[in-house]
Chains A and B, each alone.
Chain A
């Protein structure tokens, strides 16, 4: 009948030392207990209201007990919220876990940090009825938010009708700001002032009303100024800064921004001078695209798929320029190793076949074209490498010791070729920074190796060594093909990644090895080397 069960009364009675409480007594006590409890809680609500709160606390209950001249319940006021625990074996019996605390521990414990003292901060909530856009104020809703729509006769704002295009008034300050920024972007994008402007764009909280203007500006200028490299770069920086700004909701404008951003990534021609380092712009834009996907991918779940589709189309279309391919590869690579694994790696082989003629001196006479091809090759290598690196990093280090021993024992037997390979491997094993390896490592060992093995010659920025490398690679393919069978058996625990690695090895040569994570590298490299040597032994 009462929400307080008879059993509860009995338990309470026992807890205060009354063991022989009759059933009847418990039954008739229960409703009264409930009544008193409700009464106290109502008083507590009263106390809560007078403390200007909307959440009831233990203090309020104590206050209510005080009002009735009842001694408050001690021991509940300090500390966090109380947690009831369910008694084991009972479905609806709960208790508060009240642990014994060793006084010594409490005394010896370092003093907790003193709570911050109360202070008062002052800001303008509104100036003549208009809320200024400052961090202290709640962010003004997305433009044409209904909250604004309901207030009539607001200064120079029409009553908002949903069907009408929303009239939206920019303050004078914001207009000036916008003009200034656009002028800087168009004229002096390399000045220090522009850098300041970017910082302001990334941090200022009052810029939200300008976002549609900026998106339009960016879209407009990108479509007009594809020949102006510095302008494009400046525009992309603006987009980057806007994305960084935590006070801006840029989502509604993404659909306007994305085309221009993607344009800057995979356009055939960016800038009209040879000196324009459009590669850098593409790299930057790729990072930008990745950032957008990371931030808004979960809100717009079609965003990434649409983007990758666009990029993949660009990549797989043989008619497109190499620069476009480069942009597509960079874009996909920036989206993460999974994208690389799913989209680039399967297409690697046919694409390389396509790319190969462009790389060779004898087939592609145009120096510029060949350089571009090598750029693409480098990007591809890096993408694949990163993909496989991330993949391998997930797996626990393989039991490597046997590999080492094999390697060591075989060392004596092995012929010169694998020996040299190992020499080139050794510096790599200890290098933690992978990117560094990609550029520095091989070059350092270049002197040692060039004559015999091309090894980690993945810095495609040096077309001078290209001939040698490709020549060697072709020769090596025969070797690696045989090895793959053996490798497959070894990588039983992870066929998939092992397989990919092998395929990559086949396709890209040893350049890929430098991307294998360092803890892995010893093991993998050891195994590969051992196998190589074995194969060679067999051959011999």
Chain B
């Protein structure tokens, strides 16, 4: 009976400590009544367990001890299973830390954290930075990141043998603290057979708030990634067939068109009047044309119907259509052996105030959003005229900077758009270059007309700074991403958003339209990229794999692939239909501010804070069947060329319809 009393005391003490008042009350009642005391004798295991539990309250050092033992065991395990077992360490580490904090042993928690953070610094530095600040129980509850970690389980894929090894170890060493953490927070997906390869790591280690299962579930949804029916490209392909029959006479006639020459004058203005260049393009085009039939024999992207009513204005304007068709005809077929020409726009004297830049599709307009709330637009064609082919001169003499400002005297060389009341974080040109949208920290999006040089509409809806705004490929619609964790779809003629996409666990940092306008992709600080159905606002894909905040997104023109760049300089190529990462592209050493696919999707250009533009070959990947991806070597996508600027971080890259690459950035000397 004495033993019994001791147990009762233990239980009472435990309940009191934990604050379970009702249970305590109940126990007391039971004891008072003294009717049929709970029979613990028959269950020594339970008693032992309870004993353990009460003991562990006092003994936080066991976490430290247990973890360091587990760590050394893991590091000394067989190489074959090591990387699988290593994956367990990180969740155990952060949860042990949070357990210790939750129990109020702050000092120990901190020393524990500092002792072992080195191990995980490489992969999870941003998470660790966040967790480092957690110093009391209240912080754990308040901090969303910590809360979501506590609530969800980490999924870890592990092979049967590794799993057995781990369990064996845990039982043998009696490290209940570790066992508890693992039981509580890790969900093992045990697979029979060989341990998985190391390359799968990235996918597995990321901790996200939502359960991986839901992500998997979401990724099962069907996606129609094909291109729009009756798109201009398609029409061109048909027309191209006709063209080759009716010979070039027709084409030459077209060149005589006033509209065409105008178009070209704009382009030649910005291209430094290099007619040589144009000719070259044409010559290449001839070869490209001959190659085209082959290309079309490969299974073309399937066609889908647009779910949105498309703007008529865009489709019906024949004049515009003609010029676009002309551009498409003159497109250079880029490949790994034929790299694009890059025209670089350098912003000078920005005084660290340039937040974003954007280039219109024909490269004739360049917009910069500044932290002083202004939006400035430069007309490069005009610039060329005023300076008397200043671009050519800029190539020859080094005084180009004075050239831009000089001849205009007091007059500004740009159009100033004022209206925002906070730093402008993003700007985007409509496909035809007649509108600009800008998003600002003042929570609004503004629509400007480049023809009238005036603000047309102010779209209010977001509650926090709007980080990004993007026009849809057909114009009229646009999408925005905000600090309020939503992305929204708008149309130009309504001041209310049409759709609100909610689901990201942190800021939505960037947004991009799918080529067929039926989907948008959003990149977020929660390290995921999500794909949303524009029609019903549902999340249809979650792409997990990045290790830090996502800064840039691009969709391949055939709608099948997506590229995303993050803060660490990694670019990931995703297969949209499967939701899997094809391969990470490593090469940049700092934030990837921008990525863009070339018009036929064979090249990817990326611009980064490390002052380079890199060109990647992505054709090879497209041809490799998906089922080979797992076994194939990870370097299929390769870096073709690094183009270094002098001291200019690259803020935006953009391919023109003729596959001329434009890039822009602000010269910053003190890098």
**What is A's interface to B at a CB cutoff of 8 Å?**
1-2, 31-32, 34-35, 37-39, 42, 46, 49-54, 57, 59, 63, 66-67, 115-132, 134-138, 147, 150-155, 205
Contacts and interface: CB of A to CB of B under 8 A. Distances in A.
23 contacts: A2-B135, A32-B139, A35-B139, A38-B130, A39-B133, A39-B143, A46-B483, A50-B355, A51-B425, A52-B666, A54-B609, A63-B441, A116-B349, A120-B383, A121-B401, A121-B404, A122-B380, A122-B383, A124-B344, A125-B645, A134-B395, A136-B344, A137-B644
Interface hub of A66, A118, A137, A138 (most chain B Cβ within 10 A): A118
B133 A123 contact: no
Contacts of A50: 355, 425, 465, 467, 509
Given A121-B346, A130-B339, 16 more contacts: A31-B106, A35-B139, A37-B133, A49-B509, A50-B465, A54-B590, A54-B591, A63-B465, A118-B351, A120-B366, A120-B368, A122-B270, A122-B400, A128-B339, A128-B340, A154-B641
Nearest to A54: B609
A136 B394 contact: yes
Given A49-B551, A118-B347, A118-B348, A129 B340 contact: yes
Contact of B339 (A31, A66, A129, A205): A129
A469 B516 CA distance: 99
A422 to B, nearest CB: 57
Contacts of A1: 106-107, 110, 135
B602 to A, nearest CB: 13
Contacts of A115: 349, 351
A124 B423 contact: no
A51 B423 contact: yes
Given A50-B355, A120-B380, A136 B509 contact: no
Given A42-B129, A120-B366, A126 B339 contact: yes
B126 to A, nearest CB: 8
Given A34-B133, A42-B129, A136-B346, A151 B641 contact: yes
Contacts of A155: 337
Pick from A116, A122, A127 the residue with the most CB of B within 10 Å: A122
B340 to A, nearest CB: 7
Contact of A123 (B346, B355, B609): B346
Contacts of A120: 345-348, 366, 368, 378, 380, 383, 404, 413-414, 664
B571 interface: no
B391 interface: yes
Contact of A125 (B277, B354, B643): B643
B398 A135 contact: yes
A124 B270 contact: no
The 10 closest A-B pairs by CB, nearest first: A129-B339, A38-B133, A31-B135, A125-B344, A125-B342, A135-B398, A119-B404, A116-B349, A126-B342, A138-B644
A404 to B, nearest CB: 56
Contacts of B464: 67
Contact of B341 (A37, A39, A124, A135): A124
A136 B398 CA distance: 7
Contacts of A67: 464-465, 483
A42 B106 CA distance: 22
Contact of A119 (B337, B342, B348, B355): B348
B192 to A, nearest CB: 41
Interface in B640-657: 640-646, 649, 651
A31 B591 CA distance: 32
B507 A46 contact: yes
B133 A129 contact: no
Contacts of B383: 120, 122
Given A67-B465, A123-B400, A51 B355 contact: yes
Contacts of B341: 124, 126-129
A59 B353 CA distance: 10
Given A51-B423, A129-B615, A138-B644, A123 B344 contact: yes
A66 B421 CA distance: 13
A152 B593 CA distance: 26
Given A128-B340, A136-B646, A121 B609 contact: no
A125 B663 contact: yes
Interface string B117-148: 00000000000011011111001000100000
B interface bracket (residues with beta carbon within 8 Å of A):
35 or more
A131 B642 CA distance: 10
A39 B142 CA distance: 11
Given A118-B348, A125-B344, A136 B641 contact: no
Contacts of A129: 338-341, 615, 640-641
Contacts of A63: 423, 441, 465
Interface string B278-296: 0000000000000000000
Nearest to B551: A49
Interface in B343-398: 343-356, 366, 368, 370-371, 376, 378, 380, 383, 391, 394-398
B158 interface: no
B542 interface: no
Given A35-B135, A118-B376, A127-B341, A52 B354 contact: yes
Contacts of A147: 642
Contacts of B460: none
B47 to A, nearest CB: 36
A119 B349 contact: yes
Nearest to A33: B135
B507 to A, nearest CB: 6
Contacts of B305: none
Contacts of A46: 483, 507, 525, 549
Contact of A121 (B106, B345, B643): B345
A119 B401 contact: yes
A122 B139 contact: no
Contact of B405 (A32, A117, A126, A132): A117
Contacts of B591: 49, 52, 54
A42 B549 CA distance: 12
Interface string B627-641: 000000000001111
A33 to B, nearest CB: 9
B132 A38 contact: yes
Contacts of A119: 347-349, 401, 404-405, 413-414
A345 B413 CA distance: 64
B347 to A, nearest CB: 6
B502 to A, nearest CB: 18
Contacts of B110: 1
B147 to A, nearest CB: 14
A124 B663 CA distance: 10
B337 A153 contact: yes
A131 B343 CA distance: 11
Given A1-B107, A50-B467, A54-B590, A138 B645 contact: yes
A118 B350 contact: yes
A124 B342 contact: yes
B613 interface: yes
Contacts of A116: 348-349, 405
Nearest to B400: A121
A264 to B, nearest CB: 32
B641 A121 contact: no
A432 B356 CA distance: 59
B425 A122 contact: no
A159 to B, nearest CB: 13
B250 to A, nearest CB: 29
Contact of B338 (A54, A128, A131, A138): A128
Contacts of B644: 131, 137-138
Given A119-B413, A120-B404, A122-B383, A53 B352 contact: yes
Contacts of B346: 120-123, 136
Given A49-B567, A54-B609, A116-B405, A121 B136 contact: no
B619 interface: no
Contacts of B339: 126, 128-130
Nearest to B402: A119
Interface in B387-439: 391, 394-398, 400-401, 403-405, 412-414, 423, 425
